[in-house]
Structure 1
């Protein structure tokens, strides 16, 4: 089979065709479907990956967030300024208003900020700019309940107690979220395209400048099993995507939370493993993923879980664990 395609007398390679398609998508508008089915113009350079079969360790357990009645959702780290941010729904609202919490690495609440009519908060990103932390997250929800999801990405400076000054990207999207790679400085965007969830990966600096024309990778979310999979979060590190799925259970024997590793240059699943991190928590439910590199140089893959003190208690608690075995 000839790998090239001739258009208007010009022969295009698959790679050139991808570039042309990506530029066309940008020209059509922010809500356009990105071109390509796997790697972008040059792909994502090879990198080490986490061994997701290895044990998990506690960062902290049982911490109340600003909105005490709602479970944690996505979270992310500012790897330059050494900050942790966790998003959740606001107390006393219809479900689409979100709160961004800043926590210490021991789980103590340091500050918070609210973004109304945002979505669900499955995943967020953080971009360090000098001593400031800029939050990336969904906004402009498509509804006003807990089922609402964002239709654009918001970028704003975190200011404790302040009102977000939001810059919006990829408006007109459907079910859009993002995650940032603090080590390789990239941002992954997950959204519905043509009725299926797709991932696109960009240099973070390009995204901040509003340039989403040339994704490094663009691939459909792979099928994870033949049964029901409840998607609960994702993150990226190097050339690998990591996802978390599962449900909350009252009985630890029913744990069904899985971590999956996906090669972003091919869009294929490379590994999938059951995680029992925090298995003793009451009504443990997987919630969010993130990557962080410590000041000592240890790179960690983090998993979030919501919990309760008892099944009849209205309060919800945040719990974060990590894996730290890299291969390659």
Structure 2
């Protein structure tokens, strides 16, 4: 699990045993598909969420409807932009991009560039996952495809699959998670260099063994530490009685060594009826004071077993030690 280079990173870390504070509880996004991930534009105070597209939706340029299974297989994503009061202020669609396990955001003027996976290929479960990385500007109402002129594609690890990305907004870095020859890895890059096509990682680490037999649900990074999220939704019996408790874990991994520093059970949003962990991201509430950053956990939720209107809830930790 060694590093590809002596990263020499040093920073404070989030105390994962500290309690979580609720930010938004069960805000609506877009229809019947659960949120997969999210990221912040801290400059413009926007929140971007990623979902797989629902079935039955016909986009501009399409001549037929597609089922939800079709959308999953193709890797069709819906990106929703919200303000920091939780109101939807924009939406765009990415066709053939991937599953949306993690996204990144790079502010640009009064909008932002999205960092995502792209060139989706279906796996054995017929879910599409990206084989490369993409950067594309958010344009409200746009529908873009991998060959669209608005898209810049990157191939930092040729032959890899399950590509996803996240952005460390405090230090200007990009994280790339991927699978290569069956092994899961994370690489950390300088964002500016990566944009220029220089794929020289500051560090590359193997996914720790503690995360081998879990349902992986997202990641982010700040400074010296990579943070990951895993777990599943509550289960219920035929009478609607909850039969499980939280198995949501947040883990910190040292980029310098590739080893787990801390792994902590999270009870954030424990009272949600449906509660599936979906994504991590770094928020900087005041860009003049990036030292006061927050580690956000996202949860997909719904009001009942028969409710198809998916919502999202967000909680944060802010104790840096």
CA distance in 1, matches of 2:226, 2:47: 20
Equivalent residue in structure 1 for 2:202, among 208, 216, 231 = 216
Q: Which residue of 1 aligns with 2:215?
A: 230
Q: Distance in 2 between matches of 1:57 and 1:85?
A: 20
How many residues align? The count is 288
Equivalent residue runs for 1:106-125 within 5 Å? 106-125=85-104
Deviation, structure 1 residue 117 = 1.4
Q: 1:194 aligns with which of 156, 170, 181?
A: 181
Contact 1:252/1:279, CA 8 A, preserved across alignment = no
Partner residue of 1:128? 107
Structure 1 match to 2:309: 315
Matched position secondary structure for 2:130? coil
Aligned to 1:207: 194
Distance apart, 1:81 and its partner CA: 2.2
8 Å CA contact 1:101–1:112 kept in 2: the answer is yes
Partner of 2:225: 240
Equivalence for 2:169 = 182
> Deviation digits for residues 50-82 of structure 1, max 9, x if unmatched?
00100001110111112x101111111122222
Q: CA deviation at 1:41?
A: 4.0
Question: In the TM superposition, what is the alpha-carbon distance from 1:225 to its structure 2 partner?
Answer: 6.0
Aligned to 1:99: 78
Q: CA deviation at 1:254?
A: 2.0
- Which of 23, 26, 45 matches 1:59? 23
SS at match of 2:307: coil
Unaligned runs of 5+ in 1: 1-36
How high is the TM-score relative to the length of structure 2? 0.85
One of 149, 160, 185 as aligned partner of 2:140? 160
CA RMSD of aligned residues (A): 1.7
Distance in 2, matches of 1:190 and 1:299, equals 23
Q: Within the alignment, does 1:150 sit opposite 2:130 as a pair?
A: yes
State whether residues 79 and 91 of structure 2, in contact with CA within 8 Å, keep that contact through their aligned partners in structure 1: yes
- TM superposition outliers: structure 1 runs of 4+ over 3 Å: 37-42
Distance across 2 between alignment mates of 1:44 and 1:289:
24
Who wins on radius of gyration, i.e. which is larger? 1
C-alpha distance in structure 1 between counterparts of 2:253 and 2:43, whole Å: 26
